[in-house]
Amino acid sequence: MKVSSHYLWLALAMACLSIVTGEAVANPADLDTLMESGVEAEESDPRYAGVELDISRKRLPEAQATTIEKTRAPKMPPRLDDPLAGAYSYHLARQAAMSDNPDGVTENLAAAIEASPGHPRYQWWQTVQAIKSMDTATLVRVLPNSVRSLLNSPVGRGHFIVAWHQGAVLLNGFFWTVLVSALYLAWWRTMAHDMGATILKDSKHQPRFLLPLLMPAILLLFKPGWFGFLAIMSILLLVHARGKVRYLLLATWVMALALVFPGWPLLRSAVPTVDPTSEVTLLDRACTLPPSGSMIRELKNRIATSEDQDRTNRLTVALAIQEARRGKYQESSRQFRKVLETEPTNFPAMIGIANNTYYRGYMDSAAKRYTEITLAHPKRGEAPYNMAQVYFKKLFVPEATDAMDKARSLGFIPSFSIKGVTRRKGYAPVVYPPLTNQAMNEACRYEAPNYPPLVILSSWRHQLGSPPLPLFILVGGPLLLALFLIMWWNKQNDPTECENCGIPLCHDCCKIHDGAWLCAGCGETAERSRSDMVLGTLLRNRSREQGMALGHRVIKISRLLPGAGHLATGHFRPAFIRLSILAAGLFMLSAGWAFDMGADWSSPGLMLPGETLHPKWLPMPAAMWPGWNGSSVLLGAGLIALSWIIAFLDGPGLRRGIPDRYSLTPNTANRDTVPGPGIATR
């Protein structure tokens, strides 16, 4: 009986155990457990946790197991990128380019871009190299990345804007110079006539061909500068010009005025980006470079003197990032919290506190902060990426993979430094985002008023002009005077040249015969002639003689300055093409080599006198001079030579293009066909 009672109790215990086991099998594990959905537990294994324990893959519980000892936190956080490695590889690439080593350029430039793929200087230097080597395939591949890097980098965009502005100033200056010179040569006889009548008071108004040299000589004595000289010289040219020539001169003049106008906001805000001592540069370096004691001290000094809250927040974010970079996580978080007090959704500050929490070993708190950041900034991929590192640390691999996929879908694909250390004491690197583009743009606008107008053209003041008046007034004042004279001149109906032979004349020296404006010679011939037939013959002979002389003069001035002959004969398009080729050649020969989009802070308009080839006559960076065999120099010399070759080949065509002027008869004069000074009547 005693044995059977034991068996009875054992049977009852087994029955109860089977009931409990049946209930466990009937209720499969929830999705929010370590067990897979739909998989039944066949038997309970004491080595594994039971289903009643809430160990979740979807939630990060507040458990001490997810808190790492502070002694294991890295003294300095690891980094994904290494900007110093990128800068070093870029330096090697530029050295290889100077030593004519294309393989070294390709290898080192690829390493620099791999280390810092978003760096605009590396991207644009690669574009410049593709253009120099005529590599169309590489140019098509890298140009979109270069444009994208400018859009994503206010500092790189500012450097780009300043360089293009300086290049446009010089190119416009060269074209304006050749245009004014060509018009001056084309209308030399007209100016000689007008100046002889005005200055010498010659009763017969005989042209004095040296008189046109008097005006530029007097102007140079006052040292108005390059643009001031061109503006004053263009006054009479714009008044006398007609048709497309007037529009071309006016457009060139207005472009010069726009380039020297100091009030453009985009240009003004770009100035701090090319100053290596500016606050904008300090912020950019503090957010990207490794920690530096000098940068931290400078940031603290600026914060102490700042009275603008937005500026204080920008400087504080940069300081907090520097503190985090050197492992001062608590001090860094304290600085970040100062920013969040006045700007609760500041993205770099929110990420920075979460990163510092992660590196201090508090995984669950860091995860909660990353979740809040994702809700506040759903379009930024840094938070999901950093969240993935927390999941990996907790061995939640599926969730970490989902977070990485989300970061990629938002466009955040960080670059990993090949040589850099990517882990320290088991901690994967997370991203400390720099200041946002909006904050950097605000920093540029805040600091821009500290610089004088057109400071980026400081080394060119001797060329452009440095009178007591601002440069834009020196250029715009003569333009307003010229427009006023045009309105006044259009009300006059004075003749400008003889309708028979084309000799310059004015209202005082002309003779009117049967409604035709004639010069003194043609007028005397018309008065002495007693027969219309004889008069027609004499006028034709005189017109033919003057036409042949005009042809010789046109060919001479065309060979002296390409395009001037076509302006004298009224052929606008050929003249514009030849002047453009010559101006482009002068630009490439004298200055085109100096504009390198990948150079470090080398802006030609900001060079010190000792850094230039010549402080007055050629203030271009001496360090960037490629020698006379440089591609830009050779291209410029080739364009200049091409323009003069075309000018010498234009001789016969120009002579044939000058129409005969002996169609005038005493009864068929027409003053409305006169196109302007120095231009033959058709």
Backbone angles phi, psi at 212, to 5 degrees: -60, -20
Share of residues in the chain with pLDDT > 70 (%): 74
pLDDT at site 408 = 92
pLDDT at site 84 = 84
CATH number at residue 327: 1.25.40.10
529 close to 521: Cβ distance less than 8 angstroms: no
pLDDT at site 675 = 39
Question: Of 64-68, 149-153, 312-316, 426-430, which one has max mean pLDDT?
Answer: 312-316
| Residues composing the chain | 682
Query: Minimum mean pLDDT among 391-395, 416-420, 452-456: which range?
Result: 416-420
435 and 568 belong to one structural domain: no
Q: Which amino acid is at 349?
A: A
Whole-number average pLDDT of the chain: 80
pLDDT greater than 90 at residue 182: yes
19 within domain boundaries? no
16 within domain boundaries? no
* Block residue for tokens 């390493």: 111
Which residue, 130, 152, 174, sits at the end of a domain?
Answer: 152
Per-residue confidence band for 671, with pLDDT thresholds at 50, 70 and 90: very low
Domain that holds residue 121: 83-152
Of 589, 485, 453, 550, the C-alpha closest to 236 is: 485
540 within domain boundaries? no
Per-residue confidence band for 143, with pLDDT thresholds at 50, 70 and 90: confident
pLDDT at site 133 = 77
Per-residue confidence band for 532, with pLDDT thresholds at 50, 70 and 90: low
pLDDT digits 0-9 by tens, 21-74: 444 333 333 333 333 333 333 444 454 444 454 444 444 444 444 545 555 678
Q: Output 637 or 466, whichever has higher pLDDT.
A: 637
Structure tokens at 301: 């000094």
pLDDT digits 0-9 by tens, 185-209: 888 877 776 666 666 666 666 666 6
Which residue, 103, 120, 152, sits at the end of a domain?
Answer: 152
Per-residue pLDDT averaged across 2-18, rounded? 48
Share of residues in the chain with pLDDT > 90 (%): 37
517 close to 510: Cβ distance less than 8 angstroms: yes
pLDDT at site 653 = 74
Backbone angles phi, psi at 607, to 5 degrees: -70, 145
Cα–Cα dist 482/487, whole Å: 9
Query: Virtual CA dihedral for 24, 25, 31, 33, nearest 10 degrees?
Result: 50
pLDDT digits 0-9 by tens, 433-449: 999 999 999 999 999 99
Q: Output 447 or 115, whichever has higher pLDDT.
A: 447
441 and 569 belong to one structural domain: no
pLDDT greater than 60 at residue 426: yes
366 within domain boundaries? yes
Per-residue pLDDT averaged across 151-165, rounded? 88
Per-residue pLDDT averaged across 587-596, rounded? 87
Which residue, 391, 425, 447, sits at the end of a domain?
Answer: 447
Cα–Cα dist 152/61, whole Å: 38
497 close to 191: Cβ distance less than 8 angstroms: no
pLDDT at site 661 = 54
Question: Of 54-58, 121-125, 660-664, which one has max mean pLDDT?
Answer: 121-125
Q: Output 609 or 295, whichever has higher pLDDT.
A: 295
Backbone angles phi, psi at 225, to 5 degrees: 90, 170
User: In this structure, how many other beta carbons lie within 10 angstroms of the beta carbon of residue 142?
Assistant: 18
286 and 433 belong to one structural domain: yes
Q: Output 425 or 609, whichever has higher pLDDT.
A: 609
Domain total for the chain?
A: 3
Cα–Cα dist 670/511, whole Å: 15
Between helix 214-221 and helix 188-199 the angle, nearest 10°, is 80
Give strand pairing partners of 497.
504
428 within domain boundaries? yes
Phi-psi region of 660 (alpha: psi -120 to 50; beta: other; left: phi over 0): beta
User: In this structure, how many other beta carbons lie within 10 angstroms of the beta carbon of residue 221?
Assistant: 7
Cα–Cα dist 224/226, whole Å: 7
pLDDT at site 214 = 81
pLDDT greater than 60 at residue 213: yes
499 close to 517: Cβ distance less than 8 angstroms: yes
Q: Output 628 or 520, whichever has higher pLDDT.
A: 628
Backbone angles phi, psi at 496, to 5 degrees: -120, -20
pLDDT at site 199 = 66
pLDDT at site 295 = 95
11 within domain boundaries? no
pLDDT digits 0-9 by tens, 350-369: 999 999 999 998 999 999 99
Cα–Cα dist 24/37, whole Å: 14
575 close to 183: Cβ distance less than 8 angstroms: no
pTM for this structure?
A: 0.79
Q: Tell me whether strands 516-518 and 612-614 are parallel, antiparallel or unpaired.
A: unpaired
Per-residue confidence band for 459, with pLDDT thresholds at 50, 70 and 90: confident
586 within domain boundaries? yes
pLDDT at site 672 = 36
17 within domain boundaries? no
